[in-house]
Structure 1
Amino acid sequence: MSPEWLSQVLLPWVLASVMMAMGLSLTKSDFARPWRHPHRLLLGASLQILALPLLAWGLVMLLPLSPLAAAGLLLVSLVPGGATSNMFSYLVQGDLALSVSLTAIAAVLAPFTLPLVMSWNLDVLGLSSTGLRLPYWHTVGQLLLVTLVPVLTGMLLRRMLTPAILEWLLPKIKVLTGVAMISVVTALFVSHAQRLPSLFSIETLAVLLMCMLSMTLGYQVARRFRLPNTSVRAITVEVGVQNAGVAMMVAFTLLQQPGMGLVPLLYGLLMNVPAFLWMFTCLWRDRQLTAAQQRS
């Protein structure tokens, strides 16, 4: 099974299936709720659009990265969350409506903000920034196909199913989609086995620090603002998980810089490690809380 088939065909279908399963658990009222608390949307969007690029610059200044690798890390910090962040919000039982809303906001803003900010980043790093253009409608179309369209399809199916069938079906679909996603991630690691030597590098350290510090930032700031637990989890994931596919497209296709695309590629593989650790931590905490409530 080729890496291209895995990343370009199977992964989008699995993500779309996960999003459709998410839609089965959502109603229209769930999307009205985030807009009743605009400070949660403002906080999440500010962390994504402002704080994350500043964090990336901090790592660039701290670590001895090459200019191209530094540009790749900065590029990752500028792309929207995408379907993967929505998927992890679903798996950790976070606020799905808030997660999808933040993804939509980032997806609309990124085509405007990314070329402007990335051009400045490349100039500061001493790299040429000519010809950087992010295809707006193509990017929005891809995000729609793997996020909002499957969610709306799941919500439509929810209206057609009886409550009894939903109660029986939802837990099974959640397990099935989770297993499918883990299987695809494992297959991607195996298919990139020839790149393993490059995983033990300063670029790997930068990517892992980016993932862990961004999730920690989202979690701590959301907790400081005393948001509900589901909102804390959604913001943690939205800040910590970015759409590596968009970053790779910009580096490999638009800028024609394979060296810059290495960091987004590493990020696309390695971001799953802290994200899954966070997922298992959340599920373990939920089980502990349920057990404590049952004992009392």
Structure 2
Amino acid sequence: MAPDWLSQVLLPWVLAGVMMTMGLNLTKIDIVQTCRHPRRLVIGTSLQILALPLLAWGLVALLPLSPPAAAGLLLVSLVPGGATSNMFSYLVQGDLALSVSLTAIAAVLAPFTLPLVMGWHLEFLTLSSAGLSLPYWPTVGKLLLVTLAPVLAGMLLRQLLGTSILIWILPKIKVLTGMAMIGVVITLWLSHAQRLPSLLSIETLAVLLLCVLSMTLGHQAARRLRLPDASVRAITVEVGVQNAGVAMMVAFALLQQPNIGLVPLLYGLLMNVPVFIWMFTCQWRDSQRTVARRYS
């Protein structure tokens, strides 16, 4: 079992650092640009908050998952995105301002919605009858400390720092927090290696299906609603890439149930596979379009 200090102390601090980094990237221009197109915000937020948990429930109903694994999958669907989704939006040339704004909105809502909805999930899975519960207000307070508060602190710090200092320090903070998060995930993976499902398991299938189907849902919904291509790409990433660190913190530190945390841990590693495939597909299409324009 992973040491208590890793899951209950280090993970929340590293997670707060990642969220603060996201706040450092959020500018007034981002807010103004996205507020000019509220329809895009409503679509992206609705897909994240409403459609994604319903998709997770569909997978739970279809696949023979154990109650802890099902709870872990549902937990993943309730957490906000994070710096990772913003990074992927940038790499696929998506609307970065929209991506960061959607993540910020989810970070505001998640501390209040996650403990309430997760409590319902635990009741439906009959896990609450076994004494497993998520106290609402204590959970809200802890989630605020590792999600919303660091985002706001990052935004404030951005205003206090000069442009030259920010340009110099921001890339270093991104690398530091990114490496720290990767280190925590790898350490948790090694600590729970004997208890993790094999790569050829129903849990792996559930994780990959959640990521692929949620990306497909976001992409198709945004396209059918005729959003710009950059917005389509940003929404695809935001709906498909969840902050596994928040889900792991809730499972390991708040619920103190490593069995529930194994699926979010698996998701944190395997979600990169479909996302990277889609990213390279986007880059290939962009290069083909560039070539076509050049010779047209």
- Using the size of structure 2 for normalisation, the TM-score is 0.79
1:216 has 2:216 as partner: yes
Report the Cα offset of residue 271 of structure 1: 0.9
1:290 has 2:294 as partner: no
User: Which of 119, 143, 151 is the aligned partner of 1:139?
Assistant: 143
Correspondence for 1:71: 71
Q: Which letter does structure 2 place at the counterpart of 1:132? A: L
Secondary structure of 1:198's counterpart equals: coil
Kept after mapping to 2: 8 A contact 1:15/1:87 = no
- Using the size of structure 1 for normalisation, the TM-score is 0.79
Of 275-284 and 211-220, more deviation after overlay is shown by 275-284
Of 150-159 and 76-85, more deviation after overlay is shown by 150-159
Number of aligned residues: 284
Kept after mapping to 2: 8 A contact 1:55/1:214 = yes
Q: Which letter does structure 1 place at the counterpart of 2:140? A: Y
Q: Which letter does structure 1 place at the counterpart of 2:135? A: R
Q: Deviations over 1:218-261 (max 9, x none)?
A: 00000000101110011001100111111111112222221111
Q: Cα 1:136–1:10, aligned 2, differ >3 Å: closer, same or farther?
A: closer
Alignment of 1:99-138 (within 5 A): 99-128=99-128, 131-133=133-135, 135-138=139-142
CA separation in 1, counterparts of 2:100 and 2:156?
Answer: 11
Kept after mapping to 2: 8 A contact 1:73/1:207 = yes
Kept after mapping to 1: 8 A contact 2:11/2:245 = no
Report the Cα offset of residue 141 of structure 1: 3.9
Secondary structure of 1:284's counterpart equals: helix
CA separation in 2, counterparts of 1:218 and 1:149?
Answer: 30
Structure 1: runs of 5 or more not aligned: none
CA separation in 2, counterparts of 1:198 and 1:275?
Answer: 21
CA separation in 1, counterparts of 2:184 and 2:119?
Answer: 35
Q: Deviations over 1:64-110 (max 9, x none)?
A: 00111111111111111122111211221111111111111111111
CA separation in 2, counterparts of 1:158 and 1:236?
Answer: 33
CA separation in 2, counterparts of 1:138 and 1:148?
Answer: 15
Kept after mapping to 2: 8 A contact 1:34/1:97 = yes
Identity between Structure 1 and Structure 2 (%): 63
CA separation in 2, counterparts of 1:238 and 1:80?
Answer: 9
Kept after mapping to 2: 8 A contact 1:94/1:232 = yes
Q: Cα 1:35–1:102, aligned 2, differ >3 Å: closer, same or farther?
A: same
Report the Cα offset of residue 279 of structure 1: 1.6
Q: Cα 1:119–1:197, aligned 2, differ >3 Å: closer, same or farther?
A: closer
Report the Cα offset of residue 288 of structure 1: 1.6
Report the Cα offset of residue 133 of structure 1: 3.3
CA separation in 1, counterparts of 2:161 and 2:290?
Answer: 30
Q: Deviations over 1:179-229 (max 9, x none)?
A: x96998699669846457622211010000000000000000000001011
Structure 2: runs of 5 or more not aligned: none
Q: Which letter does structure 1 place at the counterpart of 2:281? A: T
Secondary structure of 1:70's counterpart equals: helix
